[in-house]
């Protein structure tokens, strides 16, 4: 594999895109990152968990330690024939580099590596730079950042602050930084009854009305308004499945899936317990069985505005010419795991095209993001090395 220049973020981004790293496949992407970082003097440590390739790289051993976190895995490209160019060819058309992962988030990884190289070329920072790169963000997220964070904690590795390179910008580069996220709890509601003929309901136990009653009970609870700058919590039904093709048969089973995105007014475990309580109440006198399977993918968190968020926002304004909004909108990210190590914010390219056909990133934006990251690194050490 040819070594992409760590000084050129666009060529490095292209090299990463050409690795078809559809989660959980690595397809050589981590090697591209490792080769570029080792060329800059980083000590790179592969951290494989299960079938997932991860990497923790560090330059220096002093504090403060500023970390950049990102993921090389991508979602499937969908119908490749619908793309303007092959989804893993990294072609540049009209100033835009096209390819799965260009925005989410190989462009940001390339920009940060190039920015780190430019900073190091100017002298020795008063602290350390590190990168936590995973191949499991778009998948189940068990053997990626979550596992690496646990390992680093066990080893006593100290990361003082972290920037996650998610494509947080909304309409133009630099207009939004994520300083928190809502939590997420998912549940599968399963009602098992007794199948029978609709003319003889006494010989059956219909699970459908019980499921409807349960969903109604869950939807009837108001989950509250905005809190601390977060969107209101919301419960959404994502599927209802019975699978009964006969109009004269009472089904044997009905199930539904729900998801709750919740702000800091709630905790995932408390919401999971509430769902279980409502399931029990909805099944009173039901001659069947109700079961609930819940999973909590992350708790709500907030990195309170302060010195760190101020340094990031000021770097965006100075190098990007935009005053960013500090936001908590959007879905979950690996920041939900990294917050256990240190204060964390998310900032990267415009995310409008991520996961879509013809995902791409303007070359000018990748270069501008590199300048912003370079300014951020420089200003970070000026602020936190002086105060440490």
Q: How far apart are CA 169 and CA 350, in angstroms?
A: 4
CATH 3.40.630.30 fits 9-180+300-387, yes or no: no
Residues of the chain within CATH 3.30.70.360 domain(s) are: 183-297
| Of 175, 299, 169, 302, the residue nearest 227 (C-alpha) | 302
Distance linking the first and last C-alpha atoms of the chain: 41
- pTM of the shown model: 0.91
Q: Pairing relation of β-strands 161-164 and 65-71?
A: parallel
Question: In this structure, are residues 385 and 369 in contact, taking their beta carbons and an 8 Å threshold?
Answer: no
- CATH class of segment(s) 183-297: alpha beta
Q: What percent of the chain has pLDDT over 70?
A: 98
Question: In this structure, are residues 173 and 350 in contact, taking their beta carbons and an 8 Å threshold?
Answer: yes
Q: How far apart are CA 215 and CA 256, in angstroms?
A: 8
List Cα–Cα distances, 339 to 5, 98, 179, 312, in angstroms.
31, 32, 11, 17
Q: How far apart are CA 254 and CA 83, in angstroms?
A: 39
Q: What is the mean pLDDT of the chain?
A: 95
Rounded to a whole number of angstroms, the CA Rg of the chain reads 24
pLDDT level of residue 283 (50, 70, 90 thresholds): confident
pLDDT, tens digit, 9 for 90 and up, residues 90-142: 999 999 999 999 999 999 999 999 999 999 999 999 999 999 999 999 998 99
| Of 242, 197, 195, the residue nearest 215 (C-alpha) | 242
CA dihedral 228, 298, 164, 175 (to 10 degrees): -40
- Residue 233 in this model has a pLDDT that exceeds 90: yes
- Report residue 365 as tokens: 């934006």
Q: Enter the DSSP assignment of 102.
A: I
pLDDT, tens digit, 9 for 90 and up, residues 338-388: 999 999 999 999 999 999 999 999 999 999 999 999 999 999 999 999 765
pLDDT level of residue 4 (50, 70, 90 thresholds): low
C-alpha angle 217/220/226, rounded to 5°? Answer: 135
Query: Could you give the 3-state DSSP secondary structure of residue 128?
Result: strand
Residue numbers annotated as active site? 73, 137
| Of 246, 184, 185, 238, the residue nearest 215 (C-alpha) | 238
- Residue 3 in this model has a pLDDT that exceeds 80: no
Residues of the chain within CATH 3.40.630.10 domain(s) are: 9-180+300-387
pLDDT, tens digit, 9 for 90 and up, residues 295-310: 999 999 999 999 999 9
Q: What sign does the CA torsion over 56, 334, 75, 116 have?
A: negative
CA dihedral 360, 363, 368, 369 (to 10 degrees): 40
- Residue 1 in this model has a pLDDT that exceeds 60: no
Q: What percent of the chain has pLDDT over 90?
A: 94
Is cis: bond before 56, omega within 30 of 0? no
pLDDT level of residue 250 (50, 70, 90 thresholds): very high
């Amino acid at each position: 594999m040819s070594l992409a220049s760590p000084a050129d973020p666009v060529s490095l981004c292209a090299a990463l895109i050409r690795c078809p790293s559809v989660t959980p496949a690595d397809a050589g992407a981590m090697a591209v990152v490792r080769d570029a970082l080792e060329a800059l003097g980083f000590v790179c440590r592969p951290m494989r968990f299960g079938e997932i390739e991860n990497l923790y790289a560090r330059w220096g051993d002093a504090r403060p330690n500023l970390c950049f976190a990102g993921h090389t895995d991508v979602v499937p490209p969908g119908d490749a024939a619908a793309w303007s160019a092959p989804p893993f060819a990294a072609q540049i058309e009209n100033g835009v580099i096209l390819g799965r992962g260009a925005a989410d988030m190989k462009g940001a990884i390339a920009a940060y590596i190039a920015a780190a190289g430019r900073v190091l070329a100017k002298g020795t920072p008063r602290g350390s730079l590190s990168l936590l790169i995973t191949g499991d963000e778009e998948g189940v997220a068990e053997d990626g950042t979550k596992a690496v964070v646990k390992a680093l904690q066990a080893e006593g590795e100290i990361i003082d602050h972290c920037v996650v390179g998610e494509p947080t910008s909304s309409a133009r580069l630099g207009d939004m930084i994520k300083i928190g996220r809502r939590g997420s709890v998912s549940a599968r509601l399963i009602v098992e009854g007794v199948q029978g003929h609709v003319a003889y309901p006494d010989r059956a136990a219909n699970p459908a009305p019980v499921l409807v009653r349960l969903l109604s009970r869950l939807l009837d609870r108001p989950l509250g308004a905005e809190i601390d700058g977060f969107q209101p919590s919301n419960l959404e039904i994502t599927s209802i499945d019975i699978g009964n093709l006969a109009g004269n048969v009472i089904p044997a089973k009905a199930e539904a899936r729900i998801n709750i995105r919740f702000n800091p007014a709630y905790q995932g475990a408390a919401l999971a317990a509430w769902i279980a309580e409502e399931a029990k109440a909805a099944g009173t006198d039901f001659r069947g069985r109700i079961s609930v399977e819940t999973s909590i993918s992350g708790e709500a968190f907030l990195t309170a505005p302060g010195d760190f968020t101020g340094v990031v926002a000021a770097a965006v304004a100075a190098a990007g010419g935009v005053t960013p909004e500090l936001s908590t909108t959007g879905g979950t990210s690996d920041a939900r795991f990294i917050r256990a190590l240190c204060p964390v914010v998310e900032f990267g390219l415009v995310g409008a095209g991520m996961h879509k056909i013809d995902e791409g990133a303007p070359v000018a934006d990748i270069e501008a993001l590199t300048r912003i990251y370079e300014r951020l690194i420089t200003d970070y050490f000026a602020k936190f090395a002086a105060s440490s």
